[in-house]
Amino acid sequence: MWGTDATSAWTTREGLVTIFVAVDHCTAEGVGIHAAKIGNRFEALEPIRQGVRARFGVCGPEAARELKLRHDHGSQYISDAFQDELAFLGIESSPAFVRAPEGNGCAERLIRTLMEQLLWIRSFETVELRLALHALARRRHRPGKQIATDLYRERWPCRWISFYGRRSLKLFAWWPLALRPDARRALLVSYGIGNTAEALARAPGLARIDVVDISRIVLGLSPLIARAGAPDPLLDPRVRVRVEDGRFHLLAGTGTYDLITAEPPPPRGAGVVSLYTLEYFRLVRGRLAPGGVATHWLPVNQLSVSDSWAIVRAFCSVFEDCSLWSGAGYDWMLAGTNGIRPPYGEGFARPWRDASPDLRDIGVETPEDLGALFIADAATLDDWTAGVPPLVDDRPGRLRPWAPPDSDRAVYRELREASSCAERFRASAFVRRLWPPELRERTLASFEWRGVFDRDYDDVTRPEAIAELWATLGRSSLRTLPLLLVDSEPRLTAIARARHAEGERHPVLAFHLGAAALADRDYASAARFFEEAGSASVGYQSPVLLRSLALGLAGRAGEALALAESSSPAGLPPHALPWRAWLIERLRSAADGARLGRPAIRP
């Protein structure tokens, strides 16, 4: 169930404006927010559409089937237009009792957070500067304990501090720094919430980092962002901030950069297409130093195949050695160079020496993991985009104005398939030129785990998930991937450890501590924490089944089997039933082997 409500705030130039919010009752996470000069029924729908687009992938008929929406009896919410749109989206209306705001308490609490942390402590001039609200819109919070934040810009999510957002955006910096460990000057066009800037600030070799964004408000929000203890990157003395258009900076500025990257909003946002065109990429190439590297976001989940190929064709028309890489799921990255040479000696591995915790935090724990993100090089991209005209300034309509069909998602999934990417990596002339030979061979094995990552991104409830978790724990030394497979991630486990050290006790804390112990291969501790987590599901996971898995991997197959068999199917969510069946079969085989004197469990 979600909740929605509205409040108002004062702007110095436009007077009173209305702010609409939507919040997930389960996670207390804001799923959408919108500010408007006129708070009518049509504006009230915007945060709902934002949430549906983010959670279900598309706003379409029955897209959010089985979702309920709690709202009050305000005129916007009981209007025919609002109710008809809910029915179109498949959302069931769930009105609160008349004159009972506590019936919509989750939305009321989010509004209180907005007031306490923003509206009552800062002033704004116009409704368009209400971007500031969006930095708090999708925050999972406790009073005083910020965990995650999203930024919306012109109604589009700009990127987030969730694991997948951090991973895809920080790779815009770490990928080129692996190829240019001697880079001294970097340019970031479009700041967002600072993920890429944070990665750049972690690179000690950079002497100057220029950040360009057209919005002073977006830059001003940087101190509000949760960074898990990391400092605000804009406070780094190497950072120079310019409030201006990115293309103007490239055109009118002087000097060159060793690294140019950009994390603009999606290209269908108002005015944003000009940061994805052939002419823009030419400006980037013109400001790259010899051997410089450029990276650029390609959000294929928001683009049709033809849209994506128009952008790729534009990029590859400028960068003859262009390549395509997977960031997280369907957030891909284009990369090109200005005649780069291979890193010398151990230079390629320097980022893992300089910022190992940051790379581990995004699941790129070794140089092999970076190489396993490969999708295609210039020759392959030329085949894929054959006959597609590039996106150019004079033809912005080459990007369709509507959401991509589901069939395009299947095309992207096939292109991203790990074993096919591994073969293209093996055959790539680009890889042979830049990747150290011994690293190329070791990287091929990492594509297996890249495949597990991709499948988990697509469907965390797939039947084979628990078997892949078992294999990952037993056959790899990876720490972040096992956390993702149990619906956790590094920052959540860090928060759980900090709260536990402060004396807090809660089943959800115990669950994430169990996940951390599992990733550390401390199976005895993992079993203990999962026992403390109880029997109720946490997210998509069953602590009982995970405790059984931990006991099995600890060599206590008989005890693990008894626990798995005692778990009632009726007490598990439907998607966990195949996990239970697989675990029982695996543990029964191990228990039988133990009685016959065979070796302990192996993956």
Tell me the per-residue pLDDT of 160-198, one tens digit each, with 9 for 90 and over.
567 888 899 999 999 999 999 999 999 999 998 889 999
Q: Return d(Cα 490, Cα 100) in angstroms, integer.
A: 40
Burial of 549 (0-12, 13-18, 19+ CB in 10 A): buried
| Pick from 230, 236, 184: nearest CA to 207 | 184
Tell me the per-residue pLDDT of 19-31, one tens digit each, with 9 for 90 and over.
899 998 887 788 8
Query: Which residues does 190 contact at the CB level (< 8 Å), separation at least 6?
Result: 212, 213, 214, 246, 262, 263, 264, 265, 275
**Collapsed DSSP state (helix, strand, coil) of residue 389:** coil
Q: Which residue stretches of 180-223 are H helix?
A: 195-201, 216-220
Of 28-42, 142-156, 272-286, 413-427, the range with the lowest mean pLDDT is 142-156
pLDDT of residue 597: 58
pLDDT at 269 over 80: no
Average per-residue pLDDT for the chain: 87
Q: Return d(Cα 176, Cα 419) in angstroms, integer.
A: 24
Q: Give phi and psi for 253, each to the nearest 5.
A: -75, 170
Tell me the per-residue pLDDT of 202-232, one tens digit each, with 9 for 90 and over.
999 999 999 999 888 788 878 877 677 788 9
Q: Return d(Cα 346, Cα 348) in angstroms, integer.
A: 6
Domains (range + CATH), the chain: 2-148 (3.30.420.10), 159-453 (3.40.50.150), 459-595 (1.25.40)
Q: In the predicted model, what is the mean pLDDT of residues 438-462?
A: 93
| Pick from 133, 199, 124, 204: nearest CA to 161 | 199
pLDDT of residue 57: 73
Q: What own/partner pairs with CB < 8 Å and gap ≥ 24 does 596-600 have?
A: 600/555, 600/557
Q: What is the gyration radius of the CA atoms in the chain, in angstroms?
A: 25
DSSP annotation string for 241-290 = EEES-HHHHHHH--S-EEEEEE-PPPTTSTTGGGGSSHHHHHHHHHTEEE
